[in-house]
Amino acid sequence: MSGIDLIGVSKSYAGSDRRAVDDVSLSIRPGEIVTLLGPSGCGKTTTLRLIAGFERPDSGSVGLGARVVADSATWVPAEQRGVGMVFQEHALFPHLTVVRNIGFNLRRGDAAKRVAQMLELVGLTGLGDRMPHELSGGQQQRVALARALAHDPVVVLLDEPFSSLDADLRLQMRAEVRRILKDAGATAVVVSHDQHDALAISDTVVVMRDGRIEQVGTPREIYQFPHTRFVAEFVGASNVLHGVMGATGDRVDTALGEIACAHTHGLAGGTNVLLSVRPDSFEIDEDGPVQGTVLSEIYAGTNTDVTMRATTANGQSLDLLIHAHPERALRVGDTIRVRVLPDFVAVIEE
């Protein structure tokens, strides 16, 4: 397995002024699972297709392992790059059995053995003679993954691999796909617009927006400490507050009072900043410093989504989204008090 190096890669499509991918640089380590996350049109799929060799960059270079596969002078087409691909709709060849799908164009002496290995890896031993339409959605996905891995690809690319699956199956397949990729030791790039998929499956999440990389980080970093307002609001929900850095550099002064914040990018005291406070950072506490009334409450099982109208220090009101413990019965109009935990608070850029 190899790493992937994108250096200053840009790509625009004919008939569009906008760059689909705009000066993207990204380094992926061998064996790493990376998810390109972002809304549709953010350039994540184009980035994937640039790595696969289905698109050619306008500028910049793409490296797979030690080999440069695309730059201004080099062009290696898709079929010679040795990448494996898994598509949203699985794209199994409907006219071939499971075995022949997995063994498709597998030109090696031990092809049969390799296919059997793959079937075992994805847990489908015994189903090799089925036709694709005789498989469930999850099984189809496993076959698609096995087919991609059978060739010992330098990297595996997965395009929205979970979006065609039902909610239950999806949870199960996230774990399963991660296990299979890790067992195979594969370097994998996943494209997704679903934060839950991204957080669950990846070693590294790359959030993209308008063709550019917004933030790269572990799932935890991305969720706990978003760098920008876009990341904060796209990955999970967030309350974004205006504030001023405190003198000590570990607190931010906001309309809700001073909030402890460990993630301040070392900004100097007195700087005007935006602060992202995740709904999970609020805890209902009789003695909390912030008081407000419940505007709405939605019971969601694992927690209760509460919208609270808080009264700020200067007497104005501010609506906050709060995750309350589900055991706590709240009614619209109740007056509550909350405090802010420092765990999910980060200073962000606009």
Partner 1 sequence: MISAVHTLWARAWRGRPPQGWLLLVSLATAILMAAPVLYVGVRALAEDAERWTVLLDERIPALLWNTVSLAAVVGLSAGVLGLSLAWLVARTDLPWRQTLRWLVAIPLAVPPYVGAMTYVVVFGPRGWVSDIVGSTPIDMYSFAGAAFVLSIFTYPYVFLVAGSAVGRMGRAHEDVARSLGLGRFAVLRRVTLPLLRPATGAGIVLVVLYVLSDFGAVALLRYSTLTSAIYYQMGGFDTGAAAILSVVLIALTLVVLGVEASTRRRARFYESSGAAQSPRRIELGRLRWPAFIYVATVFLFAGLMPLMVLGYWTAQGLLIDGLDPRFLQFALNTLQAAGLAAAVAMFLAVPVVYLRSRHASVPAAVIERLAHAGYALPGVIVALGVIFFSLRLAPVVYGTALMLSIAYVIRFLPQAMQSASASLELVSPRIDEAARVAGLRPLGVIVKVISRLIAPGVLAGGALVFVSSAKELPATLLLRPAGFDTLAIRVWVEASDGAYHLAAPPALVMVLLSLLPLKWMLDRFREA
Among 12, 164, 293, 307, binds partner 1 (CB under 8 A): 164
185 conformational bin, left if phi > 0, alpha if psi -120 to 50, beta if neither: left
The label of the residue with tokens 């009614």 reads: 331
**Per-residue contact flags (x/-) with partner 1 for residues 104 to 143, judged by CB under 8 A:** xx-x-----------------------xxx----------
Looking only at residues 11 through 70 of this chain, which bind partner 1 when binding is defined by CB under 8 A? 52-54
Q: Tell me: does residue 79 bind partner 1 (CB under 8 A).
A: yes
Least distance from partner 1 to the Cβ atom of residue 146, Å: 12
Which residues make beta-bridge pairs with 209? 212
Among 13, 75, 93, 299, which residue interacts with partner 1 (rule: CB under 8 A)? Answer: 93
For residue 305, which phi and psi values (nearest 5 degrees)? -80, 115
Among 44, 151, 170, 263, binds partner 1 (CB under 8 A): 151
H helices of the chain, where?
Answer: 44-52, 98-102, 111-121, 137-150, 167-184, 195-201, 219-224, 229-234
Q: Quickly tell me which residue has 């009789």 as its tokens.
A: 286
For partner 1, the closer of residues 148 and 320 by Cβ is 148
Backbone phi, then psi, for 20, in 5-degree steps?
A: -70, -40
User: Interface with partner 1 by CB under 8 A: which range of 76-84, 168-176, 256-264, 291-299?
Assistant: 76-84
Candidate segments 79-87, 210-218, 257-265, 318-326, binder of partner 1 by CB under 8 A: 79-87
Closest to partner 1 by CB, 102 or 124: 102
- The nearest distance, CB 211 to partner 1, in angstroms, is 18
* E-state strands within 221-316: 239-245, 251-254, 257-260, 272-277, 282-284, 290-299, 304-311
Residue 277 binding partner 1, by CB under 8 A:
no
Hunting for tokens 């330098």 — which residue is that? 154
For 282: left if phi > 0, alpha if psi spans -120 to 50, otherwise beta; the answer is: beta
Q: How many CB atoms lie within 10 A of CB 66?
A: 8
Q: Which residues bind partner 1 (CB under 8 A)?
A: 52-54, 77-85, 87-89, 91, 93-95, 104-105, 107, 131-133, 147-148, 151, 153, 157, 164
